[in-house]
Structure 1
Amino acid sequence: PHTTSSSKHQQQQPVPTHATLSHTLKMPQDAQQFFNSIPFTTYYILILIFSLTVLATFGISTPLHYYFSSSLIFRHFQLWRLITSIFFLGPFGFNFIISFLIFLQYSKETEEDVCNGNAADYIWCLSIGAMALYLIGGWLLGIPFLGSCLLMYLVYIKCNMTPDVNLTLMFVPIQVKAVYFPWALLLLHVAMGQSPWVDLVGIFAGHVFYYLHHLYPKMYQKQILWTPSFLYKVFPPQSVGGGR
């Protein structure tokens, strides 16, 4: 298990690794219509992300209370870090805004298109990704803030489910097929001097879900990834917009 000193985490802030993405949300003319179209799970996670940033930005809380630490989580029972380490996208600023919009876009599309708008299925999708991110990113690699890994996780899933869509990288006047887009992002981030590990962790986690959810059933005509029934009882199927 990886543990580090408090001073290190005080200085280390999560760096959004998808600030280069220019594939933007298509906002309908009616803002209220768009707001109401945000599916249930995505809607409440966005509130959580925004709240964590507000608390950290105004000094009500601190990233020291957010980062992933297996020692603090499992020995000192600070279980909230399982949530905060993955949904904290940094303090207010340009990078936060970009990351927030990217999460909105890809979370919305994954919940609607991959999970058919079912909150239970999407929560299970996020849970599988989170477990992989905790194990590989948090525990093995010691990445304290996993929000950028989560962004790449969602990007990878959506891009592989719609492989022939053309996407564009910001400041790079070329189009890339969606199936190659996560790798193009990875190469661009490395060229910008960023570590590849955050993206690789997200890609690995995304491929685990994509393989179990889509590839294995397609190859062997057998479903092995089932959403637990209790999630359907807690979060029964809702209409688009989460029934708000």
Structure 2
Amino acid sequence: MAQAIEEWYKQMPVIIRSYLTVSVVINIGCSLEIISPYNLYLNPTLVVKHYQFWRLVTNFLYFRKMDLDFMFHMFFLARYCKLLEENTFRGRTTDFLYMLLFGASVLTVIVLIGEMIPYLSASFARIIFLSNSLTFMMVVLAECLKGFGPW
């Protein structure tokens, strides 16, 4: 059983393997109270005024509680990102990384702009972790590009 999990992990493409590993480590660290989620969430004021730039990245790595929802997100990331990286972006790992960074940037800009619009700011202010949004972006993209193969 342990060897099957090890083989599965080693066969994953490098980008998604790295993302899953860092996400699991951060979530375990937060569950064991080694890392505080208050140091990970997206707060535009802290990013701009206090130069806490890591918040632009860490909000995509923390999935809140380690429960069934977390397991489903890890499953979706593993399955659909692996499909994207092995099929649509076959042999173009850098393109997959740029696509991932572009999607994360767009999600961040949407939240930051949404916080500035008066009537929407109350709903956008509650979005402090974008990890679930990035997972859903990958699932939708994988489903939309299914069957296209490498470009």
TM bracket (short chain): 0.7 to 0.9
Q: Tell me how far apart the structure 1 counterparts of residues 134 and 68 of structure 2 sit (CA, whole Å).
A: 19
Percent identity, aligned pairs only, is: 22
**Paired letter, 2:17:** Y
Q: Residue 158 of structure 1: SS of its match in structure 2?
A: helix
* Match among 135, 140, 145 for residue 129 of structure 2: 145
CA-CA distance at 1:124 after TM superposition: 0.1
CA-CA distance at 1:118 after TM superposition: 2.7
In the TM superposition, what are the counterparts of 1:103-142 in structure 2 within 5 Å?
A: 103-140=77-114, 141-142=124-125
In the TM superposition, what are the counterparts of 1:193-232 in structure 2 within 5 Å?
A: none
**Could you say which residue in structure 2 is the equivalent of 1:74?**
48
Q: Which runs of 5+ in 1 are unaligned?
A: 1-28, 164-213, 215-244
Moved over 6 A (4+): none
Deviations 1:168-218 (A, max 9, x none): xxxxxxxxxxxxxxxxxxxxxxxxxxxxxxxxxxxxxxxxxxxxxx8xxxx
* Match among 29, 52, 66 for residue 92 of structure 1: 66
CA-CA distance at 1:139 after TM superposition: 4.4
Q: Tell me how far apart the structure 2 counterparts of residues 113 and 137 of structure 1 sit (CA, whole Å).
A: 30
Tell whether 2:12 aligns with 1:41. Answer: no
Who wins on radius of gyration, i.e. which is larger? 1
CA-CA distance at 1:121 after TM superposition: 1.1
**Root mean square deviation, CA, Å:** 2.1
**Could you say which residue in structure 1 is the equivalent of 2:141?**
157
Q: 1:115 to 1:57 in 2, by over 3 A?
A: same
**Paired letter, 2:131:** G
**Paired letter, 1:102:** F
Deviations 1:19-45 (A, max 9, x none): xxxxxxxxxx94444222200111111
* Equivalent pair of 1:68/1:85 in contact (CA under 8 Å): yes
Q: Tell me how far apart the structure 2 counterparts of residues 138 and 106 of structure 1 sit (CA, whole Å).
A: 27
Q: 1:63 to 1:117 in 2, by over 3 A?
A: farther
Q: Which runs of 5+ in 2 are unaligned?
A: 115-123
Q: Tell me how far apart the structure 2 counterparts of residues 60 and 97 of structure 1 sit (CA, whole Å).
A: 21
Q: 1:145 to 1:139 in 2, by over 3 A?
A: farther
